[in-house]
């Protein structure tokens, strides 16, 4: 079940693809079937740049199952340059190096392991722009 889900979500989870409404130009991430602003159903694929800044973050010590091995990890709100805020983990950065408004970009990393015999799930995290 997880393999099919991961395949279906590859556009958003691996490439940060969303959509732009052909009528009102509203952006959405991840992709939606209908524009949430005007109801238009003709939407074009939109490639988000994958860059933004950290607007809030927390250090997680008690995580949901499948994320335990990454504790402590940094869970953040990242405001993309296009103006949409996404929830994501930060990576390639120490806890005491994170700061508000820190510029970050999207990288592909292992998100979780679904049990001992399940697939390893990859998706986006955000890392500091060097």
Partner 1 sequence: MKAGNNIKITGHSMLKADEKWELGLIDMAVTAAKEAIENSGNILPQVLICANALGAAMMDQRNLAVHVAGQLGLHDIETLDINCGEASGGAALRQGSAIIKAGLAETVLVVGAEKTSDALPEQLESIRAFGLNASLEAHFGFSPSIGAALGMKAYLKRYNLEHSMFYHLARTAHEHAVNNPYAIFPFKLNESQYLKSPVISTPLTVMDTAPPCDGAAAVMLVKEDLNSENKNKGIYILSSSSITGKLGIPLPVETLELPAVKKSIQESLTCANLNIEDIALFEFHDSNSFFSALSIESAGLSKKGEVLKDAADGKFLKDGNYPLWYSGGNKARGNTIGATGIYQAVEACKTLMENSFSDGKKNALIQSLGSFGAQAITHIIGKL
Is the CB of 43 or the CB of 86 nearer to partner 1? 86
d(CA 38, CA 1): 34
Binding site for partner 1 (CB under 8 A): 5, 9, 12-13, 30, 55-68, 70, 73, 75-77, 85-89, 111-112, 121, 123
64 in Cβ contact with 73 (< 8 Å): no
Report, in Å, the least distance between residue 70 CB and partner 1. 7
Report, in Å, the least distance between residue 11 CB and partner 1. 12
Report, in Å, the least distance between residue 24 CB and partner 1. 17
């Amino acid at each position: 079940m997880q393999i099919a889900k991961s395949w279906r979500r590859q556009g958003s989870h691996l490439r940060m693809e969303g959509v732009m409404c052909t009528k009102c130009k509203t952006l959405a991430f991840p992709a939606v079937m209908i524009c949430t602003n005007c109801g238009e159903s003709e939407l074009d694929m939109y490639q988000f740049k994958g860059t933004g800044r950290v607007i809030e973050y927390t250090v997680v010590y008690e995580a949901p199952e499948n994320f335990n091995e990454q504790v402590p990890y940094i869970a953040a709100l990242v405001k993309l340059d296009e103006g949409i805020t996404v929830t994501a983990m930060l990576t390639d950065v120490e806890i005491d190096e994170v700061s508000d408004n820190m510029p970050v970009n999207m990288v592909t990393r292992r998100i979780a392991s679904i049990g001992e015999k399940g697939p390893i799930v990859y998706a986006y995290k955000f890392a500091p722009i060097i």
